[in-house]
Chains A and B, each alone.
Chain A
């Protein structure tokens, strides 16, 4: 099956710093990637949709200047949390799909802790 990787798996940073999370499709070309955030014991909430070669589409309430998304190639999307604060601490998960297929393949997630 399709494999999606994420890096890093976990990161601890100081408040005010920026953190970049990478999402890669390893054996397929992902025309669309999605970024979700999940707080403890909660559901996955969509943050943004990332389309290769174009600007990301952000969900209502998600600050695009704080969560920078770049989908520069068909196998890589990055999420940068800028000026991180403790309330940004969460589990960030990406997913990817190709073409018109509905099936989404999820990355293993990145656990971010902002001190």
Chain B
């Protein structure tokens, strides 16, 4: 099965700074790479995703980059705001089965 590692486990930044979270995976068949944001007690919400035929995707302050050769993809948040504080999960998907979630990164944006 898929082995997913996510780093760092916690990340504290000042408001306005950038945050980067990295996810490595093991299954070379993975072809879909989403990032989810989960606030305390709430459902995971898809914030951005990328497919294997694309190297980078950006949506306003959020971007995802993919390196299929090295089997890792990263979440980039620029101009962080306090409301970005949450737990972020990567969850690569082979398309044949359910998502395999990383261990999560707790992001704290200090005002």
Binding site for B on A (CB under 8 A): 34, 36, 42-46, 49, 91, 93, 95, 100, 102-104, 106-109, 111
Contact = CB atoms under 8 A, between A and B. Distances in A.
11 contacts: A36-B101, A42-B104, A44-B89, A45-B101, A49-B98, A93-B44, A102-B32, A102-B34, A106-B45, A109-B43, A111-B41
Central interface residue in B99, B102, B103, by most chain A CB within 10 Å: B99
Contact of A108 (B34, B42, B51, B97): B42
Contact of B43 (A34, A43, A46, A106): A106
A40 B42 CA distance: 12
B97 to A, nearest CB: 7
Interface in B25-45: 31-32, 34, 41-45
**Interface range on chain B: under 10, 10 to 19, 20 to 34, or 35 or more?**
20 to 34
Interface of A is mostly: strand
A107 B43 contact: yes
Interface of B: 31-32, 34, 41-46, 49, 51, 89, 93, 95, 97-104
A91 B42 CA distance: 10
Closest 3 CB pairs of A and B: A102-B32, A106-B43, A34-B98
B43 A44 contact: no
Given A43-B89, A44-B89, A102-B93, A93 B102 contact: no
B46 to A, nearest CB: 7
B100 A106 contact: no
B43 A108 contact: yes
Given A43-B89, A43-B104, A44-B89, A104 B99 contact: yes
Nearest to B4: A43
Nearest to B100: A46
A11 to B, nearest CB: 15
B104 to A, nearest CB: 5
Contacts of A43: 89, 101-104
